[in-house]
């Protein structure tokens, strides 16, 4: 019973870590691929880059922690995820690397063609992870074609990269892109000034309608494509999770239309967290379900580490996760001021 309790605790923490990553890096990715639509000049592009420049790498802590937690708490799941989805995850890794390099290299040479090339790299390397993360989680929700070869004690994956690009996976990818586009536009609106801030706010308001349409399609497609709703039918109390997600999404529009951008951004954060947890709660106790053999599902019970490992990790998490949260809150407070054109033109340290 004690082992089951720690397995459930780490399943909840696993969902929290991924949700926090999407909430924090989501606005960086959104600002990155929306910069081409929002900025009208090189100076405005620099302003947008400098709104995320001091914090983007710190947000990656949540990605590293989520991956590390998967490795330590559920090593079998980690092994299957990183071996069977190797190509997709490698593309994702390269995109994240290129994004960071582009931020740093863009201003190294004062050449329009040089800057234009890196601007495109920022756009593509911000859009691609947004899409791929959604595709990955869409396929996890749907189930991955794998079976347990008990005679050889291995899991066999009956698919490829193209297998992941199925309609439901792509729909989830588009949902993530739209969530991050609105999230990033709101962030840009509250971190910039003048016409750029107004354009970003207007963009967030316009994009909210297609986001709502995609969210409705996603909820409708989830019933025939996945088993996520089974847990909600068994435990109706869990419905509070998607209800908070839907309510938060509606409040994003309410506050954005009233120009209360900080409140709109707050509810955008909540929307992303509870959209992620809608899927996580529907998965339980699965981590990676099999779409071809339910007996081959990877669950928190058949893929977790030992009880001792989970206990040690719980102690470490109780100490260090609050420290990370406090540090990130301090960083956001330090860089809370809006970025202006004068800031990037006068500072030698600006991107």
C-alpha–C-alpha distance, residues 166 and 225, integer Å: 11
Give the closest residue to 3 by CA, choosing from 328, 334, 301, 327. 301
Burial of 306 (0-12, 13-18, 19+ CB in 10 A): exposed
Mean pLDDT across 208-220: 96
Whether residue 154 is predicted with pLDDT greater than 70 in this model: the reply is: no
Q: What is the pLDDT of residues 241-279, one digit of tens each?
A: 999 999 999 999 999 999 999 999 999 999 999 999 999
The pLDDT-based confidence of 77 (bands split at 50, 70, 90) is confident
**CA–CA distance, 218 with 241 (Å, rounded to integer):** 16
As a whole number, the mean pLDDT across the chain is 90
pLDDT in the model for residue 1:
52
Integer CA distances (angstroms), 342 to 43, 57, 322, in order: 9, 24, 36
Find out whether 124 and 95 touch, Cβ atoms under 8 Å: yes
pLDDT digits (tens, 9 = 90+) for 94-152: 999 999 999 989 888 888 899 999 999 999 999 999 999 999 999 999 988 877 764 44
CA Rg, the chain, in Å?
A: 21
Prediction pTM value: 0.93
Residues 28-75 pLDDT 10s: 999 999 998 999 999 999 999 999 988 888 888 899 888 888 999 999
Question: What is the C-alpha to C-alpha distance for residues 191 and 36, in angstroms, rounded to an integer?
Answer: 17
- pLDDT at residue 153 is higher than 60: no
Q: Within 13 Å, how many C-alpha atoms sit on residue 109's CB side?
A: 9
Q: What is the pLDDT, as a whole number, of residue 350? A: 67
CB 7 within 8 A of CB 300: yes
| Sequence ranges of the domains in the chain | 2-144+156-346
């Amino acid at each position: 019973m004690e082992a089951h309790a720690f397995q459930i605790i780490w399943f909840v923490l696993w969902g929290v870590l991924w949700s926090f990553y999407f909430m924090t890096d989501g606005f960086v990715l959104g600002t990155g691929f929306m910069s081409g639509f929002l900025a009208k000049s090189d100076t405005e592009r620099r302003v947008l880059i400098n709104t995320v420049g001091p914090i983007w790498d710190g947000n990656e802590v949540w990605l590293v922690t989520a991956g590390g937690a998967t490795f330590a708490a559920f090593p079998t799941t980690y092994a299957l995820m990183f071996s069977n989805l190797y190509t997709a995850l490698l593309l994702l890794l390269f995109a994240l690397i290129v994004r960071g390099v582009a931020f740093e290299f863009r201003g190294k040479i004062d050449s329009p063609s040089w800057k234009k090339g890196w601007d495109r790299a920022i756009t593509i390397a911000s859009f691609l992870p947004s899409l791929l993360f959604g595709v990955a989680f869409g396929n996890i929700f749907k189930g991955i074609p794998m079976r347990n070869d008990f005679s050889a004690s291995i899991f066999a994956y009956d698919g490829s990269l193209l297998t992941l690009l199925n309609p439901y996976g792509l729909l989830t990818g588009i949902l993530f892109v739209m969530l991050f586009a609105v999230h990033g536009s709101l962030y840009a609106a509250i971190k910039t000034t003048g016409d750029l801030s107004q354009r970003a706010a207007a963009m967030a308001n316009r994009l909210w309608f297609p986001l709502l349409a995609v969210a409705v399609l996603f909820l409708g497609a989830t019933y025939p494509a996945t088993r996520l709703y089974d847990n909600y039918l068994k435990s109706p109390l869990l419905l509070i999770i998607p209800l908070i997600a839907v309510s938060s999404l509606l409040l994003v529009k309410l506050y954005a239309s009233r120009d209360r951008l900080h409140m709109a951004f707050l509810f955008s954060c909540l929307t992303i967290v509870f959209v992620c947890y809608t899927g996580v709660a529907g998965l339980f106790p699965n981590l990676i379900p099999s779409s071809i053999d339910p007996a081959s599902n990877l669950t928190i019970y058949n893929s977790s580490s030992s009880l001792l490992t989970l206990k040690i990790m719980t102690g470490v998490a109780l100490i260090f996760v609050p420290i990370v949260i406090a540090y990130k809150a301090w960083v956001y407070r330090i860089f809370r001021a809006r970025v202006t054109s004068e800031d990037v033109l006068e500072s030698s340290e600006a991107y």
